[in-house]
Each structure stands twice: as C-alpha cells, then as structure tokens.
Amino acid sequence: MASTPTVIFGAFDRHNFGDLLIAQVVARMLPRRELLFAGLAARDAHGDGGPAAVALARIAAFAHDRCVNVIHAGGELLTCNAWEAAVMLAPPRRVPALIAAEHEWLRDGRAWAQQHVCAASLAPYVLSKSALPGVRVKHLSFNAVGGVDLDTRSAQLEADVLAALQSADAVSVRDRQTQTLLAQRGIEARLIPDPAAMTAVLFGTAIRRHAANLALRDVQQAFPHGYAAVQFSADFGDDATLDTLATQLELAAQGHGLGIVLFRAGAAPWHDDLAVYGRLAARLCAAHVRVFASLNVWDICALIAGSRIYCGSSLHGRIVAMAYALPRANISHPYHSSEGGKHEAYVQTWEAAGLAGVVNPDSLAETLANALAADCASLRETAAALARRYRTEFETMVAESRL
C-alpha cells in the first residue's frame, strides 16, 4: 500500500509563504514515498525553499497507468475561485487584463476556468476523483483545509466544492467554523491544526542554519534587544492606514525596545508589496526599521523564529509564531471586518483564551504590549499540543486510508 505514488496538490504554484511551507510539511510527513507536487500551473519554487510543482495535465504522465493517491496539502482552498486563482498565478504584465476580465468569468465561469486555469471548476483548487481525466485516483483526501466563508460564495461554486468533498475518502479542516459549515451540508470532517504547526518540530535544524545567513545576522546586529517580525498585504497601502501603522509601530518600538522588521509572506499578485513597505519605513524612525528582502521560506521562518513577536495579516505567519511559542497578533484592514474570517476562526479554534486575536491597526501598540506579556509556559504548551495533535491526526488518516 505504501508504494502507491502520491500527488500533493495545492496552491504552491505561486509565491505564498504558507502554501509553500505546508507542501514541505506534508511531504516530510510522508517519507519513503514516490511524491509529485502539483498545482494549477507549473512552478519551480526550489529557489524560494518550496517544491517544484507541475500542472494538472502532468499528473497522468506521473501516474503512468498506475493508481495514485491525491492529498490536498491544506490552506484556504475551498473558497478560492478560478478568477482569483488566475490573477494570482499570472505574471505581472497580465494581471490588469485578467482583473478587467472579471465580467467574462462571471458570465460563464466554468468555460472561463477551463480556458485560463485548465480546470472546468469554479473552485479549481478543490479536486474531485473525476477531475483528472485518464488518472485512476485510489484515495482522495483533504488535509486541514479551510473554507470559512464558503456560504457567502455563489451557489454554483459551493456545489462544485461539496461534490468534490463528497467524492473524497478523508476530509479534515483546520477550524471549527469550516467544520460546522460542512457538517450543515452533510460533510463530516475531522478537526486538525494547520500543517505549519509542525514547522519547529520538523524543520528546526534547517531553520537554525538559515538564521546564520547574512540577512538574518544583519537584523540581529541592528536590533540586539530584539525585533518584531511585521508583515501586511498590499491592500494596507493607503496613506491613512500607513499613517496609523507607523504611529502604532513607533509606539511599540519605543515602548519595548523593539526593532521593526518588515517582510513579505507572499509575492504573488494581491499579496505583499515592497514599495508599500518602503512607504511605511519612510514614516518610521530609520533606526527602528529594516526591510527584509528574502522570499525564501526558511529565511522567513528563521526571521519569525528569531523575533520577540510576530504581527501581520498572514495567518501562516501567526501559525509559525505559534509553533515557536512566540507572542503573536494579526491585523485586519480598518475597512474590513475581522469577524468570521479565517484568522479569527483559527484563533477561536486553537488559541488559549485571552491571547491577542485579530485587531485593527489603531489598537496595535496596546495589543502588542499585551501579547508581549503573555505567559511563556502557556505559549510552549500550545505549541507542543498542536504539533502532537497534527501528527496524531495525520498519522491516523494515513493508517486508516493505507496511503
């Protein structure tokens, strides 16, 4: 049974820190197996510490008339529609045209999806057993996936997602909100932490090696009393929000002797933008801020692991901080509600009561002060408990399905 070749499928066909990281976690949890990483597009992310992924059409050649297992690696896959996927996968020069083509996607979504992402589904990162022509799928599983706002998406997209989940042999989700939503639709899903909960356990040695890289040494030398690892997506780039962030981060820097290190948790369209970070850095005292340029997954993990606190809009930034028992807080855009989102759903599912969840920028300094005062023993207990639970649940799935 263990010799069955396995396809690890997910959104690691673009630069997103979390997706690249969880692909590596799942692969490490499946030793001594013939593996293929696949996404909607081919991408070799080795230079960024991620896997080399092939496009869906290449899975048939990998199978070569054999049965294969397909594991969805995780992430907020259930609600990513084909138009969003196409934009995030596009080279920069094509992004404006694809954004302008939203009306075409809305008119005939499945045909548009087939043309642009080669999958005739409104939710192309959600594969059913019938989604791979010419490939015999022995076991289909969804590993710690999220879909907190599936009920707000179109009925047709939800139907595609539910049909794929109903065809699966095993489904696990990473938050109670998604679990409840699916249960209301007749889908039984196990509750399991995000794969990135295993970061320190599985990759601690490699991450410590990366901490010795020049870029990390420069950060440590610039801020000998410690730093906050700070990240936010490009939609925080309006002047008013940047002014608020600068005020709050400056208060935190002065009040706690912190440096501010800005890093990107994603370079794909709609993710993080160096130019926006430059505009924020110009609003801060130059002695308090550095922009961390590396997009390597393990450099980013080392940056977070070496920090005194993580603060950002990336859920996986938070989860890596959790794995390292570090204080953490997520920020939401002031014009967006944090209630009901994937960050708050994860916090409500796995965090101890009283820890910082998701806050608006205007309360950031106070939130960071409270987070820095968190009980260290409790943070370590959470980190260990989540890693144990993920390992137990994943190994149970593998044993029950005979992957």
What's the pLDDT tens digit per position in 42-95?
999 999 999 999 999 999 999 998 999 999 999 999 999 999 999 999 988 999
Residue 289 has pLDDT above 90, yes or no: yes
What tokens does 220 get?
Answer: 């440590």
CA distance linking residue 59 with residue 51, whole number of Å: 15
CA distance linking residue 281 with residue 269, whole number of Å: 21
CA distance linking residue 229 with residue 304, whole number of Å: 6
CA distance linking residue 50 with residue 43, whole number of Å: 10
SS3 state at 211: coil
Give residue 403's pLDDT.
Answer: 67
Pairing of strands 43-44, 52-55: antiparallel
Strand partners, 173: 145, 191
What's the pLDDT tens digit per position in 213-241?
988 999 999 999 999 999 999 999 999 99
Phi, psi (deg, nearest 5) at residue 241: -65, -40
Q: What is the mean pLDDT of residues 382-394?
A: 98
Q: Enumerate the domain spans of the chain.
A: 6-192, 198-385
Residue 188 exposed, middle or buried by CB count within 10 Å (0-12, 13-18, 19+):
exposed
Q: How far, CA to CA in Å, does 22 sit from each of 78, 144, 291, 378?
A: 16, 10, 25, 25
Give residue 83's pLDDT.
Answer: 93
CA distance linking residue 329 with residue 195, whole number of Å: 19
SS3 state at 179: helix
Mean pLDDT of the chain: 94
Residue with tokens 């589904």: 121
Give residue 1's pLDDT.
Answer: 39
Residue 37 exposed, middle or buried by CB count within 10 Å (0-12, 13-18, 19+):
buried
What's the pLDDT tens digit per position in 141-174?
999 999 999 999 999 999 999 999 999 999 999 9
Predicted model pTM = 0.96
The per-residue b/e assignment along 67-103, b for 16 or more CB within 10 angstroms, e otherwise, is: ebbbbbbbbbbbbbbbbbbbbbbbeeeebeebeebee
CA distance linking residue 310 with residue 303, whole number of Å: 10
So what's the architecture of 198-385 in CATH? 3-Layer(aba) Sandwich (3.40)
Residue 114 has pLDDT above 70, yes or no: yes
Where does the pLDDT of residue 337 fall: very low under 50, low under 70, confident under 90, or very high at 90 and above? Answer: low
SS3 state at 323: helix
Residue with tokens 């979390």: 18
